[in-house]
Structure 1
Amino acid sequence: MSRHIYRLRGMNLDKLIELAQIGDNQALGIILEKFEPMVKSIVGKYYGTWLEFEDFLQIGLVGLIQAVYNFRKDANAKFSSFAYMNISSEIKSFVTYLNRNKHKVLTEAVSMENTDDEFTENADYYIESVDTEKKDFLKEYFLSKSLEQLECNEREIVELWIDGYSYQEIGDKMEINTKKVDNTIQKIKKVFARNIDEYNNIVEMFGGKYEI
């Protein structure tokens, strides 16, 4: 164990969060280790048996990382409560994404037992009749999250690009120049890269244990 790791393990949570927020990935890794049982507990309430538990676990860990980066000591809230809320929210968003975007992610019709308004901490959700073939749900989900950060017309450009349209075809269809198309595609690539970095952090910290 390096001296730095040894020192980190002796620090309180507030100090670890402070270091993680300025880029100390080892401090962040220790926080993830400490709160992994919480993540697993929350994931256990929501994941569907048709999808790998590790897939949902990664989503929960992303919610935890976001909690670390966004937590403020002056917010008058415990980090554990803030983390619980962020982890649960990320997992719920993932389940909702799968349900709403079945035409992109699944090959068979899916349905959920409850609606979004009926989400509770103790709710049991399942998705019926899905393709058992392994799919890259996580990257598709984060692409969807990236798209949410774009304007409506920008999302339309990206969706056409994903569907295989060329820059010229998109420009003709939307009556815009190809420079606008290129700028939008470059923008979504940058946003998507930032989201994927969260996953890469997890893979690196856990030695590929949760590799996508």
Structure 2
Amino acid sequence: MSVDLKVLSSSSYDRSSDEQLVDAVREGDSEALEYLINKYRNFVRAKARSYFLIGADREDIVQEGMIGLYKAIRDFKGDKLASFKAFAELCITRQIITAIKTATRQKHIPLNSYVSLDKPIYDEDSDRTLLDVIGGSRVSDPEELIINQEEFVGLEDKMSEILSDLERKVLMLYLDGRSYQEIAVDLDRHVKSIDNALQRVKRKLERYLELRDGGDSGC
């Protein structure tokens, strides 16, 4: 009988909306919490795959995303217009980015941070993206460059024009989550050569964006 009750309970969760599950968690339903976490685990992993941080294990970024998910469950208010999924995505992304920024301040590793190439900046007064403004306003740390792999796809054609063959190979391996050491082995280069190549990529990207922004100034 207990097995039947368990199946019924799981089936009930399947039929419930995320918002209803959050309410159940607030009422102390630990199984509803476990169900929500498991339901969104792959979503968190997909988000985490978009960000890479030198010196950190990919699972570290996934864990930060899971913390963001937990905060979303804790802080979601059902009276808001946003769905729980939209709110969870916001919390997960912010948690990952905050963790990466914190790590960059502590480690001071070249290119050990991020630039989200086509995500809206968290600035309510502007609808421009970091891709649009990095060349003009810069990020607070000149070594910071967070690369969002999903948003990089649209720039691949331009990258093939402004990057050398080595720089393009290094960047694509970096975006694939490889460490400096792994890239160096793959390309039969010294680690310092890989670091220098990524620094050149950053400078060329910034220069391209500066020129592009200057060309758009008359619009």
What's the TM-score, normalizing by structure 2? 0.48
What's the TM-score, normalizing by structure 1? 0.49
Which protein has the larger Cα radius of gyration, Structure 1 or Structure 2? 2
